[in-house]
Amino acid sequence: MWSAGTLAVREKAHRLVALVVALVLLLVLAVPSQSALFSEFTISDEAELGRKFNVMFRARFPLIEDPEIVDYVRDLTGTIVDVMPPIAFPINVHVVRNDSMNAFATAAGYVFVFSGLILNLDNEAELAGVIAHELAHVQQRHIAQSIEHSQIASAGALVGMLAGVFLGSQGKGDAAGGVMLGSMAGAQSAMLSYSREHEREADNIGLTSLVDAGYDPRGMIDAFETIRRRTWMGGGGDIPAYYLTHPGIEERIGYIEQRIARYPEEVRTQHKDSGRFDRVKTLLRARYSDPKIALGYYAHEDEGSMSCLDRLGRAIVLSRLNRIQEAERAFARALACSPGRDPLWLRETGIFYFEYGQRQDKAVSYLQEAVLRNPRDLMALFFYARILAETGKVDEGIAMMQRIEKRLPEDAEIHYYLGRMYGQKNDMFHAYLHLCYARLYKNQKQKFLRRLDGLKTYAQTDGQKKELARLEKTYKEWSQYW
């Protein structure tokens, strides 16, 4: 997931999202449950739906696993969860690599925040406002309530409504958008007022949580204002459907402003630093968005007056554009102003020398220091493990990559390089095993099946046969969403 070539090609078309979600929800929800066609949608029912949705989403759409980004969004989410009323489910947060201005919470506490949302907001309070709203839906179990309520409507209308709530990034004029909007139209008269009640409740609970967590309450208003501005500018095609229709954004801004006005001044003026937000936004722009567009962002500033963070962002973009000499100079200038040799600056400079440079000694030096300064940075560990294996320290490389795999067991790149490392040791069972997982998590069915045939010839011991059985079970669950 983290190599430069892979990052350049894993962009997904927005128009596929709504269609796949609608089809999967149809598959999951069209079958009557044991609870009398959802007359009572239990905690267990919701947990199963959430798990299936999570597997489907991870099988179809690219997630960002960069710990600098994911840990930040999870920490922010945890700050809000800590001040909320009890939630029936553990919260699982993922960051989606997609430039739609979107975030949604699906069944059982699975929260998906799109990179485009962070890139289009201005500060942490705005992002916290959106996440607080989504967490309120989870806390109130609005999805379960909607499913129970939907027994008076058709299955198709229910699927359309849920798909519209989960993901509003329909392509303009495409078939997927037509499927969703058509099915939602039939549900409007029966469900719109109910949805308005849910949205108002989520706004109110979300605003309370935002304030209790110490954020400027106007963060929620400012996020909605950005959505409204994007809509006026013709950018509404990637705005979440519930922001536009459940209820009208003008009405929502109005009643939230009335609530904020009743807060005492010390609450209306409370503030949290957005330093980590700015850091993550820079990394998303530089490493995970279109590099040509990202370079344009930095072109408007004189390099001498750029902040140290912007210098790092520009260096990353130049490296992605293969402007190697310029990138090397830019990394040197960025590193020279790095605050206390920040491990993020060290990591990114080390990755540059590993991917593009001729000086592997520099890559080793920078990545090693990054790992020592921040042992939690799995991305630095990933590249450092690769260097160890490539320089003959295969056992050390495997041990380090296994540490990463325990944290990210469904990452195709990690399994791919683990497979290669085991191949260097001539451990063919584990080489084939991890290469099978790599093909599985890349949704490459035919290549997976060919690797699986090879793996079976090496599965001799009882332990190996158990590992093979686990792989086949994962394939059965994962492949149903291909």
**Cα–Cα distance for residue pair 98/76, rounded to 1 Å:** 20
The CA distance from 37 to 29, in Å, is 9
DSSP label at residue 34: T
Residue type, 355: E
Amino acid at 68: E
The torsion angles phi and psi of 481, rounded to 5 degrees, stand at -105, 5
pLDDT score, position 27: 41
Contact present, 163 and 18 (Cβ < 8 Å): yes
CA dihedral of residues 351, 353, 355, 360 (deg, nearest 10)? -110
What integer pLDDT is reported at residue 39 of this predicted model?
59
Which residues in the chain land under pLDDT 50? 4-38, 152-165, 167-194, 234-246
Q: Which helix (H) or strand (E) holds 104?
A: strand 103-105
Contact, 221 vs 203, CB < 8 A? no
Give the per-residue pLDDT at 52: 80
pLDDT tens-place string over residues 178-237:
333 333 333 343 443 337 788 889 999 999 999 999 999 999 999 988 877 875 554 444
Cis peptide before 217 (omega within 30 of 0): no
State how far the alpha carbon of 405 is from the alpha carbons of 6, 73, 360, 417, in Å: 18, 21, 24, 11
For 442-473, letters b (16+ CB in 10 Å) and e give: beeeeebeebbeebeebbeeeebeebbeebee
Q: What is the pLDDT of residue 150?
A: 62
Structure tokens, 187: 């549900």
The pLDDT tens digits for 280-334 are 999 999 999 999 999 999 986 667 789 999 999 999 999 999 999 999 999 999 9
C-beta of residue 50 within 8 angstroms of C-beta of residue 94: no
Q: Could you give the CA distance from residue 312 to residue 51 in angstroms, rounded to a whole number?
A: 38
Q: What is the pLDDT of residue 442?
A: 92
Question: Using the 8-state DSSP alphabet, how is residue 172 labeled?
Answer: T
DSSP-derived secondary structure for 265-325: HHHHT-----HHHHHHHHHHHHHHS-HHHHHHHHHTS-GGG--HHHHHHHHHHHHHTT-HH
The model carries a pTM of: 0.85
Q: Which two tokens stand for residue 319?
A: 């490296």
Quickly count: other Cβ atoms within 10 Å of residue 149's Cβ: 17
What is the structure's pLDDT at 144?
82
Q: With beta carbons less than 8 A apart as the criterion, state whether 184 and 178 touch.
A: no
CA-to-CA distance for 305 and 297, rounded, in angstroms?
14
Q: Is the preceding omega at residue 247 within 30 degrees of 0, hence cis? A: yes
Other residues' Cβ atoms within 10 Å of the Cβ of residue 407: 13
Q: In the chain, where are the structural domains located?
A: 4-268
d(CA 129, CA 215) in angstroms, rounded, equals 9
Lookup: tokens for 459? 């599965």
- Do 283 and 68 meet the contact criterion of CB atoms below 8 Å apart? yes
Q: How far apart are CA 401 and CA 188, in angstroms?
A: 50
Structure tokens at 248: 């009208």
What's CA 454's distance to the chain center, in Å? 34
Across the chain, which distance is largest between two alpha carbons, in Å? 71
Report helix angle 175-212 to 218-232, nearest 10.
160
Scanning 356-444, the segments in alpha helix (DSSP H) are 360-373, 378-390, 394-407, 412-424, 428-441
